[in-house]
C-alpha cells in the first residue's frame, strides 16, 4: 500500500524534502511502505537534514569532546536500512565521510551531489 508521495504538514528544508522523497521511493520500490511509516520517515528526513548541517559546520575542525555526530550518523543509517534506502545488511559506517564532512550515503539521500 502506498501513501501520497509528500511529507507531513510541517515545512521541510531542501535536504529533508529530498531525504523524504528518496526514502519514500525506496520503501515503495522494496514493497515495505505502510501508511503509518509517514511519521518515521519524517523523523528520518529531519534527522538527515540536521546531520548535514552539523557535519558541514564541523568539516575540517578538530573533533569535539563528547561528539554525538557519529551516533546521529549511525542512527540515521539504521533507519535508512529500515526504509530500504540502504541494504538491510549494510554496516553502520559503510560509506566514506566525504571531504565536506558528510557521510556519502546520507548526502545522496538528501540530494547533495559530490560537486
Tens digit of each residue's pLDDT (9 = 90 or more) over 68-110: 888 899 999 999 999 999 988 877 666 678 888 899 999 999 9
Cell numbers for 87: 541494504
Tell me, what's the pLDDT at 28? 92
Query: Exposure of 27 by Cβ count < 10 A (0-12 exposed, 13-18 middle, 19+ buried)?
Result: buried
pLDDT tens digit sequence for 26-70: 999 999 998 888 889 999 999 999 999 999 888 777 767 667 888
pTM of the model: 0.85
Amino acid at each position: 500500500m502506498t501513501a501520497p508521495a509528500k511529507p507531513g504538514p510541517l515545512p521541510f528544508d531542501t535536504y529533508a524534502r529530498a531525504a523524504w522523497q528518496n526514502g519514500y521511493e525506496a520503501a515503495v520500490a522494496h514493497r515495505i511502505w505502510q501508511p503509518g511509516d509517514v511519521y518515521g520517515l519524517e523523523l528520518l528526513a529531519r534527522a538527515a537534514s540536521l546531520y548535514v548541517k552539523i557535519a558541514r559546520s564541523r568539516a575540517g575542525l578538530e573533533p569535539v569532546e563528547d561528539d554525538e555526530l557519529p551516533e546521529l550518523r549511525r542512527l540515521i543509517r539504521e533507519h535508512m536500512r529500515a526504509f530500504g534506502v540502504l541494504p538491510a545488511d549494510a554496516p553502520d559506517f559503510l560509506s566514506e565521510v566525504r571531504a565536506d564532512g558528510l557521510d556519502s550515503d546520507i548526502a545522496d539521500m538528501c540530494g547533495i551531489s559530490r560537486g
